[in-house]
Amino acid sequence: MRTIDWYTRAVLTVIAVLLAVLAMRPAPVQAQSDRAMIYIEPGTTTIRKPDGSGQGEGRMVVNMKTGEIWGFPTYLIGSPYPLDTTDTKPAVSKPVYLGRFDFDSMNQGH
């Protein structure tokens, strides 16, 4: 009977020590995310290519980390997503670079 009691105590002690080691191990902490923070403007707006080669209806997207502004054509006025009525496959909208908001200059206090 004493060997079972000794064995049970030894196993419980090992379990307790291993749990304590797991609890005390520091978890890695990351303050910044690698994911882009984007803002999608509600509704649609006129997307005009900076070189003047074309314009049309689309959605405006802002990368909140870099300030870059992209337009995604939707091909039809008021459509919230890309539609191509001439093709049976789902349309894919390629981004058009429109410019950049200079967020860094906002930190100058003026």
Q: How much is the average pLDDT of 31-45?
A: 81
CB neighbours of 93 closer than 8 A, spacing ≥ 6? 58, 72, 73, 74, 75, 81, 82
Query: What average pLDDT does the chain have?
Result: 85
pLDDT of res. 34: 66
**Whole-prediction pTM:** 0.60
Share of the chain above pLDDT 70, in %: 87
State mean pLDDT over 66-73.
92
